A and B are shown apart, each in its own frame.
Chain A
Amino acid sequence: MTSEETPGHRPPSHSLRSSSTLSQLTRRSMLGLAGIAVAGATVGAWPRLTGTDIPGRGSKALNIAILGTAADAAGRQGLIQAFTAAHPDIPVQLQAIQGADWKDFFSKILTMVAAGTPPDVVYVATEGAQLFADKLAEPLDAYIRRDGDEVSDYFGDVHPSLLEAFMYQGSLYQLPLDWNAANMYLNTTTFAQAGLDRPKDDWTKDDFSATLKALRKARPTDFTPYYWTNRLFGGVVPWLYANDTSFLSETKAPGGDWLWDRFYPNDPARATRGGGYQWLTPNAEDGRVVETFDYLRELVAEGLGVRPESGGGNALVGLFGNNRIGTTPAGGYWAQGLHEAGMTADQFDVQFFPRWRTQRHQFGAAGYAIMRTAKDKDAAWEWVKFCSTREAMQLAIPKPNTTPTRRSMVNESFYAATGPRHWKVFYDTLDRFPTSGPIPAPPQQAAVETALMKNVSTAVSGSSADVRTAMGNLQRDLELALRRNS
């Protein structure tokens, strides 16, 4: 028996304090201490997530952002490997960012900019070209002048209209790699049911109306002769262009001669080329704009066209593949989609958009833009330059899920597995209709698109008088939109 155990013996005070404190450390206290210990051990031992794990932060790799999924990023591994083989000193990190559409993608890029982790290079479509050029992107002029001999092959293979879409105030900001015009897809099964042949190249808006009526007559129910969506590409704009107008006044900035004179001296449309498109004022109340909307309203009222909803995409492919749609505007990107939906090459075809006052087409394109904040702009340029080579573009676009900007790649073998039979329509659009223009997307594109979309649906859903009211509202909304800084 120890002295402490002797009855009546008072233990030393330090020992008493020690045991009493331990007795006070009840379950809760012990849990707290255990929690702290575990947390401390975890923090100390684990290879934890830090700021440097965020793509673009603390890494010397060239950080490239694209719109897409992880699968899209994985699909470009061949491209990255080829680049790394050519430039072993430039590590590359590809970051796929998901988004419902380009507007959504740009919002996410801007959030990354705000967070201090902007990518070095971003794949930007026409919709955001001027937003990036105005605020975020580095002009390529100096690089192109310096490496002109290396990129002359690219310019020799790409239509100048596509490049003009990426000129902004006289400077070029992107080398477009893929593009699509709003051509007209035809469901040949339903055309055959209506006793219709593929329309002529110069078919008119009236021919189009007659085609829709014939399609409707052959399939009175559960079928839409003309399906269109409410968005900047393929919505109302192709009709406005065909009617030689637009909801925004279109002009061209001065400049750009440095590019045209050096790389496109023999361009038949050289005199019309400038320093990039400008959309500075609204034009919604123009008579032709009203006329165009009224035509689309009539199609809806007669049951020939749908009341357009926003979106489109995969659901539309399924409906077209099931022969529930007769015609719809889309570009070369649809060939692969329809093929994957089970359509054979003879079940669909493509034709130019119908003529109204003109047969000017709308197109959209995309390419890499170097961010002004890029850590190593020279390395970023090497990526942009490499991606514009034929070898790289073949790796990036192995299937017709878009149209390559290089004319030489748009050939029989590219569409051999998918169709359509008249695939030449895609690139011929630019040659036959050289005034074809890009999606009207000023730096305030998001506000402009919102203003357009919200007024399109009301304009085509009511009476002819409602069209004028809707155009008045569109004019007002566009004035507000264009007043914004960005």
Chain B
Amino acid sequence: MSATSTFPRQIVKPPAARRSFIERWLVGIFLAPTVLGMALFTFLPIIASLVLAFFRWDIISAPQFVGFANFAALAQDPTVRVSFLNTIMFVVVAVILQLGIALTMASMLQARMAPWLRVFLRSTFFFPLVLSAASVSIFMRYMFNEQFGVVNWLLSLVGIPAVPWLTSPVASAAVVVLVYVWQNFGFSFLLFLGALTNIPKELHEAANLDGATGWKQFSNVTLPLISPTVLVASVMAIISALQVFDQPYVLTNGGPGDSTRTAVMVIFESAFQQLEFGKASAIGLILTVLILAVTALQFRLSRRFVFYQ
């Protein structure tokens, strides 16, 4: 018998209670910064915002309880109404475009292609996402300037007259969507690329043998197999699009008229420009409820459309 074997293992271990105490203590230490940070910068503002929605507060004077007056005022405010309608329209168009382009690009990259070209395109599509939305929007604002922008200059070369990209309601909404989608589709693209890579090749080979090619193979084999990723990508895209702010704020400042004003823009204007923090909180609360409702609806629908292997 060796010397070490004379010591039973249970003797080396500390008592379970003490071990448990140390572990809990360390877990607590490791988690404390995150928990504290979230409590201070996430949960506390959420609670404060909930409470503020029932007050009138301009920062300078003391808050004044007004019950549901802020919510009642929102119903009467045409700007708020229009901004929510704009946001919903934006979400519908931008998310469909974002997911559609991302899926198309990811599918194309899965096809036969030189590896270097695949790497190049993957980086290129993802690159806009790492740029600041404000910087991109400032740059795009110059590009789409009616008189001096590059876009209209290029159009003039083929005889197309100048388009008021940022000063007509329809064109400005289109530019906001375009800039947003251009900058954000890279994330969905990466998700789809990962999902497509994980589909076993045998399944596509079997489908080919059965005569299912092209769209038939995509809709009956590929799409069901990546449907969980489609769900995740669409949930994230919708939540992000519902909170769109930078692009319309910098490109058009919500105009012309209210044609590109979004819900988050109205929250910002109400709180930090017009000092109506109660109203801003009430709008924020409604937007949160809207986001939760849309997400819940998506998960509910996913039971019918999402296929888990």
- Chain A residues within CB distance 8 Å of chain B: 5, 7-8, 16-17, 20-21, 23-24, 28-29, 32, 35-36, 103, 107, 110-111, 113-114, 135-136, 224, 227, 230, 306-310, 315, 319, 324, 444, 446-447, 450, 453-455, 457-458, 461, 470, 473, 476-477, 480-481, 484-486
Contacts and interface: CB of A to CB of B under 8 A. Distances in A.
Contacts of A461: 164, 167-168, 256
Given A32-B29, A103-B273, 17 more contacts: A20-B12, A20-B13, A24-B19, A28-B26, A36-B29, A111-B59, A113-B60, A135-B58, A135-B60, A227-B147, A319-B148, A447-B274, A450-B274, A454-B254, A458-B256, A461-B167, A485-B58
A486 B61 CA distance: 11
B18 to A, nearest CB: 8
B211 interface: no
Nearest to B142: A315
A110, A315, A485, most chain B CB atoms within 10 A = A485
Nearest to B3: A7
B49 interface: no
Contacts of B272: 107, 110-111
A307 B164 contact: yes
B228 interface: no
Contact of A107 (B13, B142, B273): B273
B273 A446 contact: yes
Given A309-B167, A450-B273, A461-B168, A29 B60 contact: no
B78 A476 contact: yes
Interface in B71-121: 77-79
Q: How large is the interface on B (under 10, 10 to 19, 20 to 34, 35 or more residues)?
A: 35 or more
A113 B168 contact: no
Contacts of B11: 16, 20
Given A310-B255, A453-B255, A486-B58, A110 B275 contact: yes
Interface string B240-269: 000000000000011111100100000001
Contacts of B26: 28-29, 32
B12, B78, B256, most chain A CB atoms within 10 A = B256
Contact of B257 (A111, A227, A319, A457): A457
A310 B58 contact: no
Contact of A486 (B12, B60, B146): B60
A21 B23 CA distance: 12
5 contacts: A16-B11, A24-B14, A136-B60, A309-B145, A477-B79
A107 to B, nearest CB: 4
Contacts of B256: 307, 454, 457-458, 461
B273 A447 contact: yes
A450 B148 contact: no
A114 B274 contact: no
A230 B167 CA distance: 11
Contacts, number: 108
A480 B12 contact: no
A476 B79 CA distance: 11
A23 B60 contact: no
A295 B18 CA distance: 85
B215 interface: no
Interface in B24-63: 26, 29-30, 56, 58-61
Nearest to B12: A20
Contacts of B6: 7-8
B22 interface: yes
Nearest to A135: B60
A300 to B, nearest CB: 9
Interface of A is mostly: helix
The 10 closest A-B pairs by CB, nearest first: A457-B256, A307-B167, A446-B273, A458-B257, A114-B59, A107-B272, A310-B253, A447-B274, A32-B26, A457-B255
A216 to B, nearest CB: 13
Given A113-B59, A454-B257, A476-B78, A20 B14 contact: yes
Contact of A21 (B14, B30, B61, B254): B14
A110 B276 CA distance: 12
B12 to A, nearest CB: 5
B193 interface: no
A26 to B, nearest CB: 11
Contact of A306 (B14, B22, B146): B146
B70 to A, nearest CB: 13
B79, B166, B273, most chain A CB atoms within 10 A = B273
B253 to A, nearest CB: 5
B35 to A, nearest CB: 16
B146 A17 contact: no
B60 A450 contact: no
Nearest to A11: B7
A447 B145 CA distance: 26
Nearest to A35: B29
Interface string B146-178: 111000000000000000101111000000000
Nearest to A110: B59
A429 to B, nearest CB: 28
A27 to B, nearest CB: 12
A21 to B, nearest CB: 6
A35 B33 CA distance: 13
Nearest to A449: B273
B268 to A, nearest CB: 9
B277 to A, nearest CB: 9
A17 B18 CA distance: 11
Contacts of B273: 103, 107, 446-447, 450
A309 B166 contact: yes
A454 B255 contact: yes
Contacts of A458: 169, 255-257
B105 to A, nearest CB: 32
A457 B272 CA distance: 23
Contact of B167 (A29, A136, A446, A457): A457
Contacts of A315: 142
Interface in B217-255: 253-255
Nearest to B277: A114
Contacts of A308: 167
Contacts of B22: 24, 29
A114 B59 CA distance: 5
Contacts of A23: 12
